[in-house]
Structure formats: C-alpha cells, structure tokens
Amino acid sequence: TEFIMIDNMPVELAGEKNLLSVIRKAGIELPTFCYYSELSVYGACRMCVVEDHWGDIHAACSTPPKAGMEIRTNTPRLRKYRKMILELLLSNHCRDCTTCEKNGKCKLQELAQRFGIKQVRFSNTFEDDGMDTSSLAIVRDKSKCILCGDCVRMCDEVQNIGAIDFAFRGSNMCVSTAFDEPIATTNCVGCGQCAAVCPTGAIVVRNDTARLWQDISNPGTKVLVQIAPAVRVGIGKELGLGEGENMMGRLVAALRRIGFDEVFDTTTGADLTVLEETGEFLSRLEKGEKLPLFTSCCPAWVKYAELHKPELVGNISSCRSPMQMFASVLKEHYRHSNKRVIVVAVMPCTAKKIEAARDEFKNDGIPYVDYVITTQELIQMIKEAGIVFSEIEPEGVDMPFGSTSGAGVIFGVTGGVTEAVIRRIADDKSVAALKSIAFTGVRGLEGVKEAVIPFNGRNVNIAIVSGLKNADELVKRIQTGEKQYDFIEVMACPGGCICGAGQPVTDSEGKKRRSAGLYEADRMSNIKRSEENPVIMALYGGLLKGKIHKLLHVNYQK
C-alpha cells in the first residue's frame, strides 16, 4: 500500500484523483468554494491550498496525490493566504447577510466565520447590479457571485444546457446568460441545480412563502396541501432528525399547525399516474406507435425536450405529472366549496414552480396548483411558526384521499416510476415476483440504468436516466439506432426527486439514505400496487367518470 503524510499523519492512497479527496478522507475539512466531486476540477478559488515539504503551495483539488508526499494543510502561511482570499471576496460582496436568502447557508459567510474574519482591509467596491427575477424557479443576484463557476459547470456538464457562462475578462468578469438576457428567456429549464451548488446567494431558489402565508391566514380561503414523495425523506436532518428518515407523519402534523385546512399525499396522484401511464404504454405497445414512451412527471425534462428535442415531444406520455393530476382531482372534488379553494404543493423541485404556471394546467385562467413551495421553503415556514419538529406527534393525512401505495411513494427516487409501472403490468402478482422486480436493474442511484421485462410473450426494453446530460446521450444512441427501448424514465436531477434542488443540500451518503428511506416506506406500506389503492378505484368509479381526459391528461404538442 502507498501512503502520503498529511499534517504528520500517514494516510493510505486508494486511487483518489486529487489531494483534496485524500485530505478529506483523513478527516480534515479543507475549505473550498469550487470543488465538487461530480463536476470537473476548476481550481479557481484557491481556498484548498496546501504546502509540500519544499514549502511550495498547491491547490489540493487539482494536484494528483503521489506516494511519499509530505503535505501540510494548516500552516501560518496557508491561514494568511486563505484569509486574504476571503477578504478580497468580501471586499466586493454585499455584506447584508441578515436579509440574504442564503443567510445561515452561505459558504462565504461560513468560511468568514470559520477563519475569524473581523475586518476587511480593502475598501468595499461592491455594486448592486440588481436581481434577475424573471424565472419562477430561481433568482439571480450577480453582485453576490464569487466566480467559482460551480453553476456554469453544473448547467453545462451535468444538465447539458449551458444557459449561463462566464462573460468578459479581468475585473469585469461575471457569470451571465447570452447577451445578458433575463434567464427566463433563455433555454434554462428551471431545474435549480445551479442554485443547489451555488455557495453564496448569487443563485437561489425563488421563495414564495410570503404570499402563501397571506392566503393561509385569509378566512375566505380553504387551503389544501399535497406533499411529494421525496419531501418526507429530505426534510428531517435540517430539523434535527435523521437524514433520509420518513417524516410523513410529522410533516402532516406540522402543516396542520401552520394552518393548512386539509393535508394530502402526492403519492395518491402518483398512483393515478401509474394507472394512466401504464394504460397509455400498453396501448402504444399494442399499436407499435410512438415508442419509446418517455415519462412526463419531471417538468424540467419536459421543458428540455420542448426546447432541445422537439421531435420527441410526441413520445412523451400525455399523463399530467402526479402533482397536476392530484391538484385537478382536488379542485374538482371541492368545486362546490363556499370558500376559494387553494392547492399548495410541497415539492423537492424548483421546476414544479414553472410547471404549475403553464397554461396547460389552468382552468379558466386559474392554475390547478396555486403554489409550489420547496422542502427548504417549508422548513423555513415550520421554523417561523415556532414548531419544534422533533417533538411533534405524527398524524395521518385527510380523507377521502387517505390511502397511498408503496408503488407511488418510490416515485421520488430514480427508477421508482418504472418499478411502479412494472408492478402494474407484471402478470405474476405473487409476493416473490413483486420482490424480484427490485433486482431487474431499476434500483440504484446510477445515472443510466437498463431493465428487460418479459411481457405477453415479448421483451419490454426499459431505460432509466437521471441528469439531463445522460438523457441527451441516451437519446443520441436511440437516434443513431445503437439502442432501442420501449419505455424510458427521465428525471432531470441526478438521483431523481430525492436530490431535487428544492431539498436541503446533501452528500452522496445522504442521497443513499433518502433513497433507502423511500424503499422502506414502500416496504412498510400495506398496499404495494397502485391499482390496489381503494382511493384510486373510488375515483375511477366516481369523480373521474367522463373526465379522465380533462383532469389527468395534457397535450404538450403545439
């Protein structure tokens, strides 16, 4: 085995690509603004500098480890260097931390605190450039940008979009859209992944809670809320509980305390989606037309296809997303209410804010979903209301939509929609057969997965992708004839909704825990298949009669 010395400790090398990973493995929290293991190495912020035994300084993120190296991470020189960088950044940065959306979660604030910056020796050249509030998903404030380039690399390397890039040189350098157009008019799909990696308040998720509080306290409104599958496993840690633990019961109780009138589970909508989408898939399979069928739950994927792959839009399922199906059903169910009925969706997703505002999802000009708030916005509301989440008693959702299936709840992780559909089409309904579906290749957080399912004397070829770059590459392989599939699940966020940009930021271990949390919720569910959910059966026998097309489907083709 090969070793290097880090601060006089021997640390074993295990194929790490850079010193930074080795140093972190040794339990040292080396600071950085611009290093993410899933993005390319940029090496611009220089906060991760280390000294070798010659006294030379290297950026640890871009230095390959070599056996025998003697590295020091915390010398007086390095501390001075890091403080200098922080002071330079702060010297042209807005320092109104208390009113910043990123207050308490800002990397610059955190490191300034950690390195004990009490004064900035340079004069403040900060200029307020104004904000770009054109997008319903994200808000950009250039004057808070520290040029780490994390957003640029995320948008390009993971999402294949490139809506933002560096512009100008020298002291004029900034991150900008082409021709500095408002972000909403570019090819941005609102996935929010740029905001998830932004270390400061330069790109943040739009916050819609102020308006929502007003509606909640308005006695003339009846405020309904639905909770997405992924939220229950993403919310716990920041409220003092375990990462990935299922918080559904506490969430329901907290939402009632906040003042929501009725609380429901988007999983009910997912069950409806499974039935509609499977029906559509089997009919296309029979006719041999418009295959592969692409899933339609992820609005960032739908928008991506509209902008970049218009030839595929006809292949996207006509099913509304579970959020939209359920909202349409709720508005229909409460249509005779004497109050104004408002539907709120708590989502792990920023693109859902844009989906909710689409013309296709309005009835007489009024959206079916009135508000989408992210997991992070809900955390803020819970804190604002003074609710001690860790002490609240769990409660159940409201009737008449009170039952959900395990198939619906796994929608929140990549492969879940597919597994739910396979459960529906599998002829063998035994417990053993159900369990074996988990081993067909549908589970796991990899960006591209494949499964082959026997059905009606033939094989159904399935692909599951998350991350839009992966989706783009898969589509290319289909278009060149290299690959052939019948069913393709696409989620824009790598890992699926559990890793949505509206969730608290987590690491790869946290993502695994969230995924495990949803599969556990499935195991604990006494209804495994969507078609066995009695609420769904009651809907088809009642409210949905003659209204399936109007309430559950959409035409994205213009």
Nearest to 260 by CA among 208, 207, 221: 221
* Per annotation, catalytic residue among 101, 243, 276, 355: 355
Residue 223 interface partner, choices ligand SF4, ligand HC1, none, CB cut-off 5-8 Å depending on type: none
Of positions 192, 229, 494, 517, contacts ligand HC1 by CB under 6 A: 229
Residue 120 and residue 90 in contact, taking contact as beta carbons nearer than 8 Å: yes
Work out whether 152 is an interface residue with ligand HC1 (CB under 6 A). no
- Rounded to 5 degrees, what are φ and ψ at 426? -60, 130
Residue 49 or residue 188: which is nearer to ligand SF4 going by CB? 188
**Closer residue to ligand SF4 (CB): 188 or 437:** 188
Per-residue mark of binding to ligand HC1, 479-518 (x: CB under 6 A): -----------------xx--x------------------
Measured in degrees and rounded to the nearest 5, phi and psi for residue 131 equal -105, 155
Q: Using CA atoms, how far apart are residues 410 and 159, in angstroms rounded to an integer? A: 23
Smallest separation, CB 500 to ligand SF4 (Å) = 12
CB neighbourhood size of 211 (10 A): 11
Question: In terms of Cα–Cα distance, which of 416, 394, 413 is closest to 528?
Answer: 416
Would you call 277 a catalytic residue per the annotation? yes
Kindly name the residue from 331, 352, 353, 528 that is annotated as catalytic: 352
Contact between 298 and ligand HC1 by CB under 6 A: the answer reads yes
Stretch that binds ligand HC1, among 14-22, 242-250, 265-273, 385-393 (CB under 6 A): 265-273
Binding site for ligand SF4 (CB under 6 A): 137-138, 154-155, 159, 161, 163-164, 188-194
Which entry of ligand HC1, ligand SF4, none binds 298, CB below 5 to 8 A by partner kind? ligand HC1
The β-bridge relationship of strands 131-132 and 138-141 is antiparallel
Is 272 a residue that touches ligand HC1 (CB under 6 A)?
Answer: no
Annotated catalytic residue, options 16, 87, 157, 280 = 280
Structure tokens at 14: 């295990």
Q: Which of 61, 191, 297, 319 is catalytic?
A: 297
Minimum CB distance to ligand HC1, residue 167 (Å): 32
Q: What does the alpha-carbon distance between residue 4 and residue 70 come to, in Å, rounded to a whole number?
A: 6
Q: Which is nearer to ligand SF4, 161 or 373 (CB)?
A: 161
Q: Which residue in the set 195, 323, 490, 521 belongs to the binding site for ligand HC1 (CB under 6 A)? A: 323
Q: Is 202 or 346 the residue whose CB approaches ligand HC1 more closely?
A: 346
Q: Which does 504 bind (CB under 5 to 8 A by kind): ligand SF4, ligand HC1, none?
A: none
Shortest CB 271 distance to ligand HC1, Å: 9
Please select the residue that binds ligand HC1; options are 270, 465, 521, 536, rule is CB under 6 A. Answer: 270
Burial class (CB in 10 A: 0-12, 13-18, 19+), 40: exposed
Candidates 31, 236, 412, 495; binder of ligand HC1 (CB under 6 A) is: 412
* Nearest to ligand SF4 of 159, 374 (CB atom): 159
Q: Least distance from C-beta 412 to ligand HC1, angstroms?
A: 4
Sheet containing strand 70-72, edge to edge, reads 9-12, 3-6, 70-72, 49-52, 57-59
Task: Provide the minimum distance between the beta carbon of 90 and ligand HC1 in the complex, in angstroms, as a whole number.
Answer: 36
Q: Which does 412 bind (CB under 5 to 8 A by kind): ligand SF4, ligand HC1, none?
A: ligand HC1
User: Is 137 an interacting residue with respect to ligand HC1 (CB under 6 A)?
Assistant: no
Q: How far is the CB of 227 from ligand HC1 (least distance, A)?
A: 8
CA distance 223 to 260: 5
Burial class (CB in 10 A: 0-12, 13-18, 19+), 187: middle
Shortest distance, CB of residue 349 to ligand HC1, whole angstroms?
3
Q: How many residues bind ligand HC1 (CB under 6 A)?
A: 20
Active site residue 29: no
The rounded distance, in Å, linking the Cα atoms of 500 and 233 is 12
**303: burial class by Cβ within 10 Å (0-12, 13-18, 19+)?**
buried
Q: Which does 148 bind (CB under 5 to 8 A by kind): ligand SF4, ligand HC1, none?
A: none
Q: Which residues contact 468 (CB under 8 A, 6 or more apart)?
A: 158, 159, 160, 161, 189, 191, 300, 301, 304, 492
**Coil, strand or helix at 130:** coil
CA-angle at 353, arms to 551 and 150, nearest 5°: 145
Is 482 considered catalytic here?
A: no
Residue 317 annotated among the catalytic residues of the structure:
yes
Active-site position among 238, 276, 277, 419: 277
In what helix (H) or strand (E) does residue 419 lie, and over which residues does it extend? helix 416-425
CA dihedral angle for residue 7, residue 8, residue 14, residue 15, rounded to 10 degrees: 60
CA distance 505 to 499: 8
Task: Look up residue 386 and give its two tokens.
Answer: 């003074």
Question: Active site includes 355?
Answer: yes
Containing H/E element for 371?
strand 371-374
When asked if residue 230 is in the footprint of ligand HC1 (CB under 6 A), the reply is yes
Concerning whether 174 is annotated as a catalytic residue, the answer is no
Is residue 302 near ligand HC1 by the rule CB under 6 A?
A: no
Assess contact for 442 and 419: CB atoms under 8 A: yes
Contact indicator for 5, 66 with CB cutoff of 8 Å: no
In the complex, least distance from residue 250 CB atom to ligand HC1, rounded to whole angstroms: 17
Within 13 A of 324's CA, how many CA atoms are on the CB side? 28
Residues annotated as part of the active site:
277, 280, 297, 317, 352, 355, 360, 497
Where does this chain bind ligand HC1 (CB under 6 A)? 228-230, 266, 269-270, 297-298, 321-323, 347-349, 352, 411-412, 496-497, 500
